[in-house]
Amino acid sequence: MAEDKQPHRSRFHKAKDDAHFAKQAVSTPQTQSPAYRLAFQDTEFLLREDLRPVRFQLELLKPELMLDEAKIESMLVIYGSARIPSPETAQAVLDAARTPEESRIAERLAAKAKYYEEARKLARIASQVPPDKNGCRNFVVCSGGGPSIMEAANRGADDEGKESVGLNIVLPHEQAPNRYVTPDLSFQFHYFALRKMHFLLRARAVCVFPGGFGTFDETFELLTLIQTGKIKPIPIVLFSEEFWTRVVNFGALVEEGVISARDLSLFHFVETAEEAWKIIQDFYGNVQDPN
């Protein structure tokens, strides 16, 4: 093979080459010791408490590089419950109830099944935004990668034959990304903080459906970042005014003086995907050419 004499090429072997060479090492007590492993291939070393800053950096960097390579310029982030049934499974939720209390809860969950369809519809609309002149995609659908509302978001993009992102988190109980997430854009996180950062690094708009602690955590952190000027305003749309005003007394926060009345303008209540998309369109003017 002719020697590569290109002046711009590194004269060092690539890390993957050295990793291959290391596998060919003669077996001796020295080469079998963990101390001899290449640091970047030594899982036990990388999992040490002292290496937490390195793991933070890796978890920030890996999705960032892969999203860049996929030419994803911006995302439509969809938050929401992992418990709301799809219309197809709503009856099964009702049938599974065994006590009056379980029946009341099941009825309220089943009543929210319509929002599964709205999330799916919104994702279909966003997925129709064409690539820009450089081939980069905007408003790519991104969810937490799980079931329920998250599944609906990825499913809507899949309906249009378009890719979508899923940002999963490692949990003690067994779980897997929903089957509609694009496999090459399905990421798994150890750190909640890094996962939440990736939701917002490319977020061009955030649409929030009824949800629990996780949805509240993500939503109120976003509101705080905008309220405090840490990030520029983006459209924030809350589906189901009935739900949100029942579980959060926004007016009381104003009356108690802990937020200002103008903070209530940071978000909008909607019921349908079309309403949400209109708010996004009005904010950006023309999302067909969002740059």
- Spatial distance between the Cα atoms of 228 and 222, rounded to a whole number of angstroms: 10
| pLDDT reported for residue 8 | 59
Number of domains observed in the structure of the chain: 1
> Residue 4: inside a domain, yes or no?
no
Instruction: Check: pTM over 0.85? Answer yes or no.
Output: yes
CATH of residue 167's domain is 3.40.50.450
- Spatial distance between the Cα atoms of 85 and 72, rounded to a whole number of angstroms: 30
What token pair was written down for 134?
């450089």
Q: What is the mean pLDDT of residues 241-251?
A: 97
> Residue 19: inside a domain, yes or no?
no
Weakest mean pLDDT among 8-17, 21-30, 117-126:
8-17
> Residue 3: inside a domain, yes or no?
no
> Residue 37: inside a domain, yes or no?
no
pLDDT at residue 38 tops 90: no
Measure CA 89 to chain center.
24
Burial environment of residue 174 by CB neighbours within 10 A (0 to 12, 13 to 18, 19 or more): exposed
> Residue 5: inside a domain, yes or no?
no
> Residue 76: inside a domain, yes or no?
yes
Q: Which of 156, 147, 267, 121 is nearest to 208 (CA)?
A: 267
- For the chain, the average pLDDT equals 93
Domain that holds residue 277: 72-284
pLDDT at residue 288 tops 90: no
> Residue 245: inside a domain, yes or no?
yes
Question: How confident is residue 9, by pLDDT bands cut at 50, 70 and 90?
Answer: low
pLDDT at residue 214 tops 90: yes
pLDDT in tens, 61-95: 999 999 999 999 999 999 999 999 999 999 999 99
pLDDT in tens, 155-212: 999 999 999 999 999 988 867 899 999 999 999 999 999 999 999 999 999 999 999 9
> Residue 11: inside a domain, yes or no?
no
- Spatial distance between the Cα atoms of 147 and 52, rounded to a whole number of angstroms: 30
